Amino acid sequence: MMAPRRFVVLDRDGTVILERNYLSDPEQVELLPGAAGALRQLRRMGLGLVLMTNQSAIGRGFFTEQRLGDIHQRLTQLLAAEGVRLDGIYYCPHTPEEGCHCRKPQPGLVEQAARELGFDPRASVVIGDKPCDLELGRQVGATTVLVHTGYGAQMAPRCQGIADYVVDDLAAAVPVIRRWHRPARLTPAATDVVVLCGGRGTRLGALSLKTPKPLLPIGGKPFLLHRLLRLKAEGFTRIILVAHHLADQFEAFVRDAVEGGISGLELIVEPAPLGTGGALRYAAERVRSSTFVALNGDSWFPQPLAAVLREHEGARRRFTAVVVPASQVQGGAFNKGTWEVGLDGAVKGFATSQLASAGWVNAGMYVIDRALACAWPSAPYSLEDNFTRLLAGKTSGVFCSKVPLLDIGTPQCYVLAEQLLGASEHMIALEHVQDAAPRS
């Protein structure tokens, strides 16, 4: 399936056209120097172009929406004469006092355009000359660019920390956007995977006394084998298993898997139980790629990882946690814990809970910068419980999925896994996976 088309969200006054206070005359519409040429280049790159503008003059009674339509018709004509077509023009007619959802920096206009034009706001660029434009971009998870035209130069101090890039004008933004738009370098084939298999599985009682939880049979095969085959089908070529409890059984499993045709498989054994954080720190020394995927070896979660890698790279993060709504956790959300997520998608903390019945539940799948993990302490500890300390000051966020998550960590869930995954037909049926779902 082709990736959705990417879009550039443009402010109007001071970004594309000359700034005129409460512009009300179509004859006064004037393109900024170089703006048409810049938009033409963006079009040639295959990007969509959508313009969004606050027009409180309508709410204040200065002119009508019909008059605004005339202004935008004039703008469209000027751009057409330069060989440029916009995919849409969206405006908010309300005054600030009305507290609407569509006035920038509120995300209403972007949400409407995304629905109608079919693009992911998080995979877009927002360009403008005022803080409200950049704050809008931050709210929807987009890349933000401040131009020095219009009010941009005088607003630059107020835009520190919310502008990803600062450029002279729209033409100067083109090279920045070209670099941003390059094909992703973070692909499954170039990314190592670390699968955590060291837990004792105590909640399974006698089931895991003699067999490690990831190696329990599902449909006559070790559960972990189903997981590895899924990773191989997605294009991952190097997978590192981290084990401790009954490690000799993992050694036998790896021998059998390699003989069965699963290449690029490596086993490392923790010297002592290290917890999720300590195990990832231990494994990071064996990782060869600059970024790696980490996941639990006892969960069936068929979220396509290519989509997670794209978002992680596009947002320039060093850590991404995949989360799911509690309603998507099969068999109940036991011991999952929930991520505390800000409006901009940034991770703010993690709350451990015996029963996570609401919110975004931890899916046990992460994308991590290798250098970041190598800087963590070499000691036993939980990644989730020590999140604030481990990721302080680092760019982190979540990927929101609505793919069902099944952890085989309890007898009830193990029985459910056998029912759902026991036959290959059932496994395929469960894999009607969706891409990232926007947060509500």
pLDDT given for residue 434 in this prediction = 33
pLDDT given at position 414: 74
Give me the helix-helix angle, 223-233 and 411-421, nearest 10°: 50
pLDDT tens for each residue of 77-124: 999 999 999 999 999 999 999 999 999 999 999 999 999 999 989 889
Taking the C-alpha atoms of residue 387 and residue 40, their distance in angstroms, rounded to an integer, is 44
pLDDT at residue 433, rounded to an integer: 33
Cα 127 from Cα 12, distance rounded (Å): 9
Q: Mention the CATH class of domain 188-430.
A: alpha beta
Residues of the chain with pLDDT under 70: 1-4, 183-184, 200-209, 331-359, 421-440
Spatial contact of 202 and 245, defined as CB atoms under 8 Å apart: no
pLDDT given at position 311: 86
Residues in CB range of 105: below 8 A, 6 or more apart: 131, 132, 133, 134, 135, 136, 138, 139
pLDDT at 208: 59
Q: Which of 11, 120, 129, 435 is catalytic?
A: 11
Pick the CATH number of 7-180 from 3.40.50.1000, 3.30.1490.20, 3.10.20.30, 3.50.50.60: 3.40.50.1000
Tell me, what's the pLDDT at 410?
72
In terms of Cβ atoms closer than 10 Å to its own Cβ (0-12, 13-18, 19+), residue 89 is buried
DSSP 355: B
Domain ranges of the chain: 7-180, 188-430
Q: How many residues does the chain have?
A: 440
Residue 13 is a catalytic residue: yes
Within a 10 A sphere around the Cβ of 283, how many other Cβ atoms?
A: 24
Cβ atoms within 10 Å of 175's Cβ, excluding its own? 12
